[in-house]
Structure 1
Amino acid sequence: MAERDVATLVRSARTRNGVSQRDLAEKSGIGLRTLREIERGRVRAPRSGSLRRIAEALSEPALLAQVGATAGAEGDVSEDDPLVLRILGRLSATRGTAELLTGTPKQRTLLGLLALQAHQVVERDEIIEVLWDGELPDTFGQLIHTYISRIRLMLDAHTLPGTGRTAVLRRGGGYELRIEGDSRLDVLEFGRLTHEAARARAGDDQVHEQALLAEALGLWRGHLLEGAPPRLARHAAAVEHTRLRVASALRLADLALARGQHEEVLAQLGPIARHEMLHEGLHARLLAALAGSGRRAEALELFAAVDRRLRAESGIEPGAELREAQMAVLREDGPAATVSTARPAGRADALRSVQLPQSVGDFVGRVEHFQVRQYLTGQGPLAAFGAAPVAALHGPVGVGKSALTVQIAASVARHFPDGVLHARLRTGTPDEVRTVLRGFTRALGVPAAELPAGLPELAALYQESVAGRRVLVVVDDAPGERAVRPLLPSGPGGAALLAGRTPLSGLECAQHFRVERFTADQSVSLLARIAGERRVLSERTAAETVAELCDGNPLAVRIAGMRLAARPHWTVARLADRLADEERRLSELVAGDLSVRDRLTSAYEGLDPSLRDALRALARSADRAFDPAGASALLRCGGRQAEDLLERLVDHQLLEPPVSAGEAYAMSPLVRLHTREQ
């Protein structure tokens, strides 16, 4: 394409989007002078990367197509070459011999995450976890949108008319990479070939099975997503694909060794063994192949090297499988040697199930979700000392602690392959703790007949059973430190997620997270998910009024949404009018067995008499905020005693603490209305 044509296309696209040269230069990362020269047609051969950044900054997929398929590509692109994505090695997007530019490191990481789980929905929380290994930027939502838009630009620009489509689709709160044709993504093709190999094995067609496995393993060009950030490289899906590669290589080696094809085994297993340096099964087969090729000395040297690594890095000796392969070499049984794939018997399998209540389908994301996930999956300050991370959530009545706990546990469950143990406590009595411990210990593989009757003995057996296992323990409605201490896993690997109304401030080594009320946007989002997006957003102002009258309390907002959903003839404004009546507001916030009043009554009845008196005295005041001096007059006590009462009410989540030093304590409108009823 002529320089003048490129200049015209770029200038027209910028003008069409109403963007100045200076703004476009800043947004695309191209020098202002360079952009001016491109638009004047004075650049003889604009760099493909520059043209791509301009197109992405303008969100102009048509521009990419117009400047040619080679924009953003290195190599020759034929009009007939389809787009192919590869992740079995370094991430790449190619057409023919041309490798396409796939964007910034974060954009490449997101594309890799989507490709790793093609045809599956990748939730936004998982994207956040993988992209930001540390502090979450304030603009993370916009950044994700930008990366997705740029990936779509690249895919659209290189999708051929009339061929299978490759696209990123929005699915609820996440995104899904859809690819028509397994050959367009190597990991899908690998899955297809290994599935066909399994069918050939079932039909006892070992020749065809071996050929299919060899073809599947030939797709790998190195480590899966080589060079990707650690959080993506350690993703559960990446670990599983790597495991399937090793399993396929072991099966292929067994088939090839049985036919005396030792060089085939060395060619297939050698590259894998360099990354799996402690895998005894791989090295056992390599020993047999080296010996079968007449290289017995190399085989014995390989055994000695693996032996040293096992002792140095794991503190163990080679197992029976590797020892058997060594003895076969020493007996000169190499050419006919076969290696057993049986594994030595170990302890009983750990818990595999996830014992969690069903999560709500209309969950609204919140920042606490990301913070707790980061902490539980290895970001905690005590991780370096081998302590199991303990995250303790607390917050006001109806703020959604239980729903948030289930969502967090479900989202981090893949980090705990030995399972998730869940319990909801009522009273925290020794009998209740004993019952929970019995259930946990049974789930960890201990027969019921071996469970002791005494609580101390049962707790000791539970700790012995959970030690060293990667288990997440979830305890909801935690009534106090004494009740949850026996349930916490000890040592590295495990973690605990606790939730309760009051903070467990006396719990050693716990990280505390306060679950906050919803913002107006979060409240309106929940209303829309329950009562219908079009209905709620068409009355946005009324919906915000409902959110304000519900005081951002997720339970109250949920009940309001349920009442709207059950009454399609109501407008949102009508519900807002009904909630505006303070005398009837708590009566309006009832739906089935959900009641804000009932939850607040439970919290109120849990107070001792002195705190009830103090709460009633504060609720009678016309003021909505209290400093210790003002509270002292209302409570008719000294300043220090008044401050102590205020702090105790904060612990019970019936007062909001000061935002910063010197500011006042606050009582939420719903708590005030309920207390006045008393």
Structure 2
Amino acid sequence: MKLVANRDGHRDIGTLIRGARARTGVSQRVVAERSGISLRTLREIEQGRVRSPRASSLQRLAEVLSEPELFTYLPGTSPQGEAGYTDDDPLVLRVLGRLAVSRGPVELTAGTPKQQSLLGLLALRVHQVVDRDEIIDVLWGDDIPDSFGQLIHTYVYRIRQLLEMHAGPDGAQPLLVRRATGYELQMPDDDRLDLLRFRRLVRETGRARAAHDPEAEVRLLDTALSLWWGPVLEGMGESLRGHPVAVESAQQRVASALRLADLVLPRGQYESVIDHLGPIARSHPLHEGVHARLGTALAGSGQRAAALEMFAAIDRRLRHVSGIGAGEELRTAQLAILRTDEERVPVRAVFRAPAGEPVRPFQLPSGIRDYVDRPEQQRILHHLTGRGPQVSFGAAPIAALYGPAGVGKSILTARVATASRPAFRDGILHGELRTGSPDEVRALLGRFLRALGVPAESVPDGLPGRSALYRGLLAKRQVLVVIDDAADEQAVRPLVPGGVTSALLLNSRVPLSGLEGARHFRVSPFGDDQALTLLAHLAGQARVRGERDAAARIVRLCGGLPLAVRVAGMRLAARPHWTLSRLADRLEDEVHRLDELAMGDLDVRDRLGRGRPVLEPVVREALRRLADAAGAFTIASAAEVLGRPAREAEDVLEALVDQQLLEGPARSGGEYAFLPLTRIHAREPV
């Protein structure tokens, strides 16, 4: 059925609105508040005194009053007065470019800028819970209004009304679901959100490549890249455009375009490469691989002068930014064009750095496929790339992650490092410091220097000489240094980059509070929604949905510790004949709970043991006595258990907080608490 507008008179809109209000039983004031327009404006519209109500006002009124006929007065209708979409057209969201909400050929009004930002964030994190803290960070940053809670509620209400108003022909619609810690956008199928469709096509492309089917791969890559019409959420704030999901999607776009170019350039299909790489080159002005292939395509299509000018321009930009000109790949493509117009220009050359040319190592730490997003990831990323509110002036940014054993510090570090890659064009260095001894630090610096292109014979012998050379090299480049399992501040200081263009990302069990200039980020156990998401990734969505209560018991008994939830999920995946209730019942037994949480070389007891520091005898005895007594303590109750004055008891509690064996109180005078598995482990004999 087509929606047909009645345009006989302007009073018809007022009549529609008054009738809809009477039907729903709401007052003018309530409608005005929910739609975000003034009460006076609403009265003027109802009385027919506004000749051309704004499209955004009509859109919100239609959503608030559930009156679809108002949509026929919106722009986007045909000259015959027929609405540009039919009942058969589904609602479609697009984020691969400017945010758009559409049905058929008609683009719908998505609300105020803040409402659009929230919808964009929910779409980026589709099928995942977006915590309230992340919403606040994205919408307002550090300038949080007093009424933020009511504003979030209003934006959510309007988005939900928009989604419900435009249910699909089969009743299927995107849903905005309230969760314990935030909200989750659920899409009925991938084709309703371009980001999901792009991800699916990328997966299919990988399967075509594995099957050695280049024709299918080219077809899928072209379709996937055609979904993009600009940078992710173009025109929105930096908090959204720089969101880890947006950054990762942009990386997938670039990788897909480079792969397509490598497949079709040898066939002479230059226009396809220009179409896809041209827009990417504009948003990645320093990406050498993109410009090398684009120059090849331009020259092949007869635009030799444009290709050479592009090579000269990127060389100037590279020299201006880093003092270093174009690399081997760009120079090889440029020289090939200069030799002859007729010769087929090579797309890729094996990288061989000449003397003095910087090597760009990318030693990314290993990550995992079933990652569950954390709200702190975006704040860490912003700090490292110089966009956060607490970046020290005149020094390299340092982000120091810390938290209990098994909480997922290394996984989060790997995710942040991967998302940071576009900001660090000269590479990523990765290493571990398990003991932090001078010999270990010296050896790691030697490995880093060789990775940066320093010949082995030119690497200084001593630790001070290696550190000075390393800092000098990084002061002229954009490199991210990633250190896993840092032992202490003394071990890390020689690895702090010189200058302001590079950055250091590290994780440790305890906060390295004495590390000058570092910003510290505590990695906390998962909330219930995050833990259930991880369990569903591993054990299967259907099993978790089918036994929701048992799944909740499992994550509660795991204390939200990601490692424990991961092991539980892996055990269920390995035992499809087990119900979730069976595993939950086995975990209820505290005596054998840690026995249950082992799978292959992942062993929660072993990780907690390796993560337990060497404590002073007094603190070690206090830990055992507190663990035997209860799971949470005030200072007074701890003093009673330990038989010590309150001040000494507080010192012991704070020492255990420093070592990540206790959770500190949320407020002064509150309770210190054990993580459940930490307490069980502390009660076991050493």
TM superposition score normalised by structure 1? 0.66
Alignment of 1:69-148 (within 5 A): 70=76, 104-105=112-113, 132=139, 134-135=141-142
Query: Which of 668, 673, 682 is equivalent to 1:666?
Result: 673
Alignment of 1:232-631 (within 5 A): 236=284, 281=312, 347-357=356-366, 359-380=367-388, 383=391, 385-604=393-612, 606-621=614-629, 623-631=630-638
Residue 558 of structure 1, CA deviation = 1.6
Corresponding residue for residue 652 of structure 1: 659
Distance 1:200 1:530 in 2: 38
Corresponding residue for residue 82 of structure 1: none
Distance 2:113 2:489 in 1: 44
Corresponding residue for residue 332 of structure 1: none
Q: Could you say if the C-alpha distance between residues 677 and 67 of structure 1 is closer, same or farther in structure 2, counting changes exceeding 3 Å?
A: same
Corresponding residue for residue 196 of structure 2: 171
Q: Could you say if the C-alpha distance between residues 404 and 11 of structure 1 is closer, same or farther in structure 2, counting changes exceeding 3 Å?
A: farther
Corresponding residue for residue 206 of structure 2: none
Instruction: Judge which range, 565-574 or 384-393, deviates more.
Output: 565-574
Instruction: Give 3-state SS (helix, strand or coil) of 2:605's partner.
Output: helix
Instruction: Give 3-state SS (helix, strand or coil) of 2:483's partner.
Output: strand
Residue 653 of structure 1, CA deviation = 0.9
- Is the 1:578–1:585 contact (alpha carbons within 8 Å) kept by the matching residues of 2? yes
Residue 538 of structure 1, CA deviation = 2.7
AA partner of residue 492 (structure 1): V
- Is the 2:13–2:70 contact (alpha carbons within 8 Å) kept by the matching residues of 1? no
**Could you list the per-position Cα deviations for residues 267-299 of structure 1 after superposition, in whole angstroms to 9, with x for gaps in the alignment?**
x99xxx9xxxxx994699xxxxxxxxxxxxxxx
Indicate whether 1:2 and 2:27 are aligned.
no
Distance 2:84 2:634 in 1: 74
Instruction: Give 3-state SS (helix, strand or coil) of 1:423's partner.
Output: strand
AA partner of residue 585 (structure 1): R
Residue 431 of structure 1, CA deviation = 2.1
Distance 1:175 1:143 in 2: 29
Instruction: Name structure 1 gaps, 5 residues minimum.
Output: 80-84, 158-164, 226-232, 259-264, 274-278, 285-305, 320-344
Number of residue pairs aligned between Structure 1 and Structure 2: 579
**Could you list the per-position Cα deviations for residues 12-37 of structure 1 after superposition, in whole angstroms to 9, with x for gaps in the alignment?**
88899997765443333234465566
Instruction: Give 3-state SS (helix, strand or coil) of 1:578's partner.
Output: helix
**Could you list the per-position Cα deviations for residues 442-463 of structure 1 after superposition, in whole angstroms to 9, with x for gaps in the alignment?**
1211122221222222222211
Q: Could you say if the C-alpha distance between residues 559 and 143 of structure 1 is closer, same or farther in structure 2, counting changes exceeding 3 Å?
A: farther
Residue 171 of structure 1, CA deviation = 2.8
Distance 1:418 1:353 in 2: 8
- Is the 2:258–2:289 contact (alpha carbons within 8 Å) kept by the matching residues of 1? no
**Could you list the per-position Cα deviations for residues 213-237 of structure 1 after superposition, in whole angstroms to 9, with x for gaps in the alignment?**
9x979x99xxx89xxxxxxx9965x
Residue 47 of structure 1, CA deviation = 3.7
Residue 102 of structure 1, CA deviation = 7.1
Distance 2:265 2:541 in 1: 51
Q: CA RMSD in A?
A: 5.9
AA partner of residue 445 (structure 1): G
Residue 371 of structure 1, CA deviation = 2.1
Instruction: Give 3-state SS (helix, strand or coil) of 1:421's partner.
Output: strand
Residue 387 of structure 1, CA deviation = 0.9
Distance 2:443 2:112 in 1: 53
- Is the 1:352–1:418 contact (alpha carbons within 8 Å) kept by the matching residues of 2? yes
Instruction: Give 3-state SS (helix, strand or coil) of 1:473's partner.
Output: strand
Query: Which of 23, 32, 38 is equivalent to 1:25?
Result: 32
Distance 2:77 2:468 in 1: 65
Instruction: Give 3-state SS (helix, strand or coil) of 2:386's partner.
Output: helix
AA partner of residue 349 (structure 1): P
Residue 474 of structure 1, CA deviation = 1.0
Q: Could you say if the C-alpha distance between residues 196 and 34 of structure 1 is closer, same or farther in structure 2, counting changes exceeding 3 Å?
A: same
Q: Could you say if the C-alpha distance between residues 173 and 56 of structure 1 is closer, same or farther in structure 2, counting changes exceeding 3 Å?
A: farther
- Is the 1:3–1:42 contact (alpha carbons within 8 Å) kept by the matching residues of 2? no
Percent identity for Structure 1 against Structure 2 = 44
Alignment of 1:149-188 (within 5 A): 168-169=193-194, 171=196
- Is the 1:393–1:513 contact (alpha carbons within 8 Å) kept by the matching residues of 2? yes
Residue 3 of structure 1, CA deviation = 3.9
Residue 473 of structure 1, CA deviation = 0.9
Residue 625 of structure 1, CA deviation = 2.6
Distance 1:143 1:346 in 2: 57
Residue 41 of structure 1, CA deviation = 7.1
**Could you list the per-position Cα deviations for residues 77-132 of structure 1 after superposition, in whole angstroms to 9, with x for gaps in the alignment?**
999xxxxx99999999999x9999776445777999999x9xx999999x989965
Residue 492 of structure 1, CA deviation = 0.5
Q: Could you say if the C-alpha distance between residues 27 and 414 of structure 1 is closer, same or farther in structure 2, counting changes exceeding 3 Å?
A: farther
Q: Could you say if the C-alpha distance between residues 477 and 144 of structure 1 is closer, same or farther in structure 2, counting changes exceeding 3 Å?
A: farther
- Is the 1:391–1:496 contact (alpha carbons within 8 Å) kept by the matching residues of 2? yes
Q: Could you say if the C-alpha distance between residues 110 and 248 of structure 1 is closer, same or farther in structure 2, counting changes exceeding 3 Å?
A: farther
Q: Could you say if the C-alpha distance between residues 91 and 245 of structure 1 is closer, same or farther in structure 2, counting changes exceeding 3 Å?
A: farther
AA partner of residue 436 (structure 1): L
Distance 1:530 1:389 in 2: 35
Q: Could you say if the C-alpha distance between residues 376 and 637 of structure 1 is closer, same or farther in structure 2, counting changes exceeding 3 Å?
A: same
**Could you list the per-position Cα deviations for residues 422-478 of structure 1 after superposition, in whole angstroms to 9, with x for gaps in the alignment?**
112221122221221122111211122221222222222211221221111111111
Corresponding residue for residue 53 of structure 1: 60
Distance 1:90 1:664 in 2: 47
AA partner of residue 193 (structure 2): V
Q: Could you say if the C-alpha distance between residues 11 and 560 of structure 1 is closer, same or farther in structure 2, counting changes exceeding 3 Å?
A: farther
Residue 499 of structure 1, CA deviation = 0.7
Distance 2:167 2:443 in 1: 55
Instruction: Give 3-state SS (helix, strand or coil) of 1:499's partner.
Output: strand
Distance 1:92 1:440 in 2: 45
Instruction: Name structure 2 gaps, 5 residues minimum.
Output: 86-92, 170-189, 203-219, 232-253, 327-353
Distance 2:191 2:70 in 1: 16
AA partner of residue 168 (structure 1): L
Corresponding residue for residue 174 of structure 2: none
Residue 642 of structure 1, CA deviation = 2.9
Corresponding residue for residue 294 of structure 1: none
Q: Could you say if the C-alpha distance between residues 242 and 52 of structure 1 is closer, same or farther in structure 2, counting changes exceeding 3 Å?
A: farther
Instruction: Give 3-state SS (helix, strand or coil) of 2:440's partner.
Output: helix
AA partner of residue 647 (structure 1): E
TM superposition score normalised by structure 2? 0.66
